[in-house]
Chains A and B, each alone.
Chain A
């Protein structure tokens, strides 16, 4: 089955710890994205990558980091510098940049 997989679904971390969210796709898509969703805020772009070994900051990149060493994988690290990390994080991919996006199931991160 082709698709985009995020893990884990729920994640709890203590304040001050870095945490990495996984995103894997087997759709052979070039572009991948990370969005943050807060209640009433819609989807806000954190980082995106149009091709392997390249990525660009989105609108709210501060406190986050990414890598794109493989086409299939685009992990997101939420660092201790992110002031309000508790949120629902969505990974997406598309055949080319900004075309129809396929979303993963999301990871709900809670920092206590």
Chain B
């Protein structure tokens, strides 16, 4: 069945350093969504990517969808303490969405 793998599981960075999380699917995706969940909170939608090779930016966040539509990445430039949380990708294939297990980002002051 369809699987979505996300790496790394945990990431500790110094404030100001960059951060990247990667998402890989076993099957071709029709789209991919990214969510952020703050500690103790609920997931909040960040963005959806649909097109092959698509790149979208939101301030310090850059999202990419691979050419084969089987992988995606989220890159944060110059992390801040407000970036703390778990970042999930969610890939849509066939008629279901599968969430990755998430990458928990911890910022060291």
Binding site for B on A (CB under 8 A): 35, 40-45, 90, 92, 97-106
Across the A-B interface, give the 10 residue pairs with the lowest CB-CB distance, nearest first.
Answer: A42-B101, A43-B99, A103-B42, A42-B99, A100-B45, A103-B43, A98-B97, A42-B102, A106-B42, A98-B92
B16-61 contacts to A, CB under 8 A, are 33, 35, 41-45, 48
Q: How far is the CA of A48 from the CA of B50 in the complex (A)?
A: 22
Q: How far is the CA of A55 from the CA of B28 in the complex (A)?
A: 26
Report if A98-B88 is in contact (Cβ < 8 Å); known contacts: A43-B43, A103-B44: no
Please state if B43 and A104 are interface contacts (CB–CB under 8 Å): no
Q: Distance (Å) between the CB of A106 and the closest chain B CB?
A: 5
Contact of A43 among B45, B88, B92, B95 (CB under 8 A): B88
Q: Distance (Å) between the CB of A7 and the closest chain B CB?
A: 14
Q: How far is the CA of A34 from the CA of B92 in the complex (A)?
A: 17
Binding site for A on B (CB under 8 A): 6, 9, 33, 35, 41-45, 48, 88, 90, 92, 95-97, 99-102
Q: Which among B44, B48, B95, B97 has the highest number of chain A CB atoms within 10 Å?
A: B97
Q: Which among A90, A97, A101, A104 has the highest number of chain B CB atoms within 10 Å?
A: A101
| Contact residues in B for A41 (Cβ distance below 8 Å) | 101
Q: Distance (Å) between the CB of A32 and the closest chain B CB?
A: 13
Please state if B43 and A105 are interface contacts (CB–CB under 8 Å): no
Contact of A45 among B35, B45, B96 (CB under 8 A): B96
| Contact residues in B for A101 (Cβ distance below 8 Å) | 33, 35, 43, 45, 90
- Specify the chain A residue showing the minimal Cβ separation from B30: A98
Q: How far is the CA of A96 from the CA of B43 in the complex (A)?
A: 18
Contact of B95 among A35, A98, A99, A100 (CB under 8 A): A98
Q: How far is the CA of A98 from the CA of B41 in the complex (A)?
A: 21
| Contact residues in A for B96 (Cβ distance below 8 Å) | 45, 98
Q: Distance (Å) between the CB of A74 and the closest chain B CB?
A: 16
Contact of B42 among A42, A90, A98 (CB under 8 A): A90
Report if A102-B45 is in contact (Cβ < 8 Å); known contacts: A42-B88, A43-B88: yes
